[in-house]
């Protein structure tokens, strides 16, 4: 399947990181998500109930990043992925992809961002 819903470069403020200093002050985190599912039923019927509401997906990302502090961006990505799967699995989603970028990663040199990308599938979908 090639259909997917994409939300790109969402920016939220969060207090995440390994050090106390990273968690002391909010900093920007960028999130991209892809939800793989057949969008044909929604497109043919012009019916939001037959697809993933990207407003709901946006709110999931916002609530995780702006929520409780995490030490790792991997933990942020995993929580977003699990919540997106729960939202989209009843509609037949086969995979979600989540990217989390940390532009202000505390590294000893110049870098645009540190990032993680994960892919998750519902437990019942075979590879």
What is the distance between the alpha carbons of residues 77 and 98, in angstroms, rounded to a whole number?
Answer: 6
102 is catalytic: yes
Sign of the Cα pseudo-torsion (99, 100, 106, 110, in order): positive
Rg, Å, the chain Cα set: 16
Closest residue by Cα to residue 118 from 91, 94, 98, 92:
98
Query: Per the residue annotation, which of 9, 83, 102, 124 is the catalytic one?
Result: 102
The tokens for 14 are 């969060």
What is the distance between the alpha carbons of residues 105 and 127, in angstroms, rounded to a whole number?
Answer: 34
Q: Which helix (H) or strand (E) holds 8?
A: strand 4-14
Report, as residue numbers or ranges, the catalytic residues: 102
């Amino acid at each position: 399947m090639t259909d997917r819903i994409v939300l790109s470069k969402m920016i939220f403020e969060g207090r995440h990181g390994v050090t106390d200093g990273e968690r002391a002050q909010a900093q920007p985190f960028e999130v991209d998500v892809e939800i793989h599912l057949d969008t044909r039923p929604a497109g043919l019927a012009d019916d939001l109930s037959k697809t993933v509401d990207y407003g709901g997906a946006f709110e999931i990302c916002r609530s995780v990043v702006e929520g409780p502090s995490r030490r790792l961006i991997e933990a942020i990505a995993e929580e977003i992925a699990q919540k997106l799967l729960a939202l989209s699995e009843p509609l037949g989603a086969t995979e979600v992809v989540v990217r989390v970028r940390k532009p202000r990663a505390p590294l000893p040199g110049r870098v645009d961002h540190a990032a993680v990308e994960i892919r998750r599938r519902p437990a019942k979908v075979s590879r």
